Amino acid sequence: MNPLKVLLVVYAFPPAGGVGTLRAASLARYFPAEGIELDVLTTRNPSSVGMDYALLKEIPEEVRVHRTITIDLPFGVKKWLKSLLSGRKAGSAPAQAKTQAQGAASATGHRPGLLKRILQDTLLPDPQVTWLPILTRAARRIVRERKIDLVLITGAPYSAYLLAPRLRKTFPQLKIVLDFRDEWLATAFEVASFGFSTSERARTFAIDAEAEAIASSNAVVAVTEAARREIRSRYPGDCESKYLHIPNGFDATRLQPASNRPGERADGKIVVTYVGTIYTSTEPTKFVEALHALPAEVKARYIFRFVGHVEDPRYREALLSLGEMVELKGYMPQREALQAMNDTDYVLLISHDRLNVSAKFYDYLGAGKPILACVHPDGDIRRLLEDLRAGWWANSRDVQAMSKMFMDAAARGDSAAQQFDPDKAKIAEYERKPIAQRYAKALFAIAGREAGEDAR
């Protein structure tokens, strides 16, 4: 059998850590067993929240990983610049990051307004666009040398999709698939949670760039049905079959079965754990207000543990205002973060996003812990939560509703174990291995072949 030769293009790949690497890492882990000969094209020095070498050990030896240099700013510098551009105080940025970024501002005459305009007009659609020239040359070389059948480009960063029209010009018959881990236009310019720049120039650029990339592709994959519909609606002339929904998932091999179900602890405490980054679309200010509104005797029972990076100093200050109710654990490699969920009564989800589903949601499902979710009332997270019977939710902008959710959780006590009845059969459908198998089957179909069939 001739394998399907696929080139997976991804900005951050293990050992880079963070949730942004997990989808690509799981595809690389499981694709080879599905008849796919996989090459991965990634960066040698991505800007990431940390390193996770355990993820790299899980990539099969037969996967060829090509790493190129990228002219990108270190994570700390990038966060400092982001706060500068938004006019916020970057009090927690590392000293070295401040020094380097302040040097850039000095070079423009100590004028943050001018620096902001220069960066926003140059780094479109995002700072990772500096990788594009190197990425294009490397991708063209690999496609030729490795006789690639199909290129799968996954983002964010959205600048990775700019590769599609460049490859299409060079290889008219090449199959190209765009994988949207986050929907682009509505997410960046309506929710403003991922957009580096939200200027009119940036919006126009993004609209044109997405249209060109999608016109150059054979298929578009979104991780939520809401995102698939949103992207599809912008291109009514395309065939419906071009737009696919293949969700994220959890890796059962990394998760321990829940050691306890919600109920009374000996000390009467209720431990709630959040795993992941706190950033714009998960900002916690209303959540914090809801906790401050709880009666003193209820506050005394709760411990909220946050495992992950807190992007904005304002969010950190808001969480710390909760005093003894909160513990900020910082970034942990994925395996440690998942283990932290085992000793908890509930897991916490905060999301104001109506289109995208946090990757942590699936890990929560796999861990078997009940979810307390502060989410968009019209979003896919709420729909999935109800369909899978995976926990309880409240509107992430409704302080009173969130307070009631935490009051109810505190009142359940021993009865929580009986009230929590997840649909385990449906949840099993979100394991990463069967999802990767489904993805592989879709790629074979896009390439005009069936899985297990010789190339024609």
d(CA 337, CA 257) in angstroms, rounded, equals 14
d(CA 40, CA 152) in angstroms, rounded, equals 9
Contact (CB, 8 A) for 23 and 248: yes
Instruction: Output the pLDDT for position 364.
Output: 92
Instruction: Output the pLDDT for position 426.
Output: 95
**Of 364, 340, 345, the residue nearest 417 (C-alpha):** 345
Instruction: Output the pLDDT for position 108.
Output: 41
End-to-end CA distance of the chain: 11
Distances (CA, A) of 313 to 11, 302, 397: 26, 23, 20
Helices 399-412 & 285-292, crossing angle to 10 degrees?
A: 60
DSSP secondary structure, 79-118, as one string: HHHHHHHTT---TTS-HHHHHHHHHHHHHTTS-HHHHHHH
d(CA 372, CA 302) in angstroms, rounded, equals 13
Question: What pTM was computed for the model?
Answer: 0.83
All structural domains of the chain, each given as residue ranges with its CATH number in brackets, are 4-72+126-249+431-446 (3.40.50.2000), 76-116 (no CATH), 270-428 (3.40.50.2000)
Q: Bridge partners of 452?
A: none
**Of 209, 152, 207, the residue nearest 175 (C-alpha):** 152
Instruction: Output the pLDDT for position 212.
Output: 98
Which residues, other chains included, contact 26 with Cβ-Cβ below 8 Å and sequence gap of 6+?
249, 251, 432, 435, 436
**Of 219, 229, 127, 227, the residue nearest 178 (C-alpha):** 219
Low-confidence ranges of the chain (pLDDT < 70): 1, 72-121, 191-196, 254-266, 451-456
DSSP secondary structure, 7-30, as one string: EEE-SS-TTB-SGGGHHHHHHHHH
Contact (CB, 8 A) for 158 and 125: yes
Instruction: Output the pLDDT for position 84.
Output: 55
Alpha carbon 66 to its chain centroid, in Å, reads 22
Q: Is 211 helix (H, G, I), strand (E, B) or coil?
A: helix
Instruction: Output the pLDDT for position 334.
Output: 75
Half-sphere exposure of 245 (CA within 13 A, CB side): 15
Instruction: Output the pLDDT for position 6.
Output: 98
Contact (CB, 8 A) for 184 and 143: no
The two structure tokens encoding residue 62: 């037969």
d(CA 446, CA 177) in angstroms, rounded, equals 9
DSSP secondary structure, 382-409, as one string: HHHHHHHT-EEEEETT-HHHHHHHHHHH
Span 185-239, pLDDT tens digits:
988 887 544 556 778 888 999 999 999 999 999 999 999 999 999 999 999 999 9
Instruction: Output the pLDDT for position 384.
Output: 95
d(CA 306, CA 327) in angstroms, rounded, equals 6
d(CA 204, CA 207) in angstroms, rounded, equals 5
Other Cβ atoms closer than 10 A to 43: 21
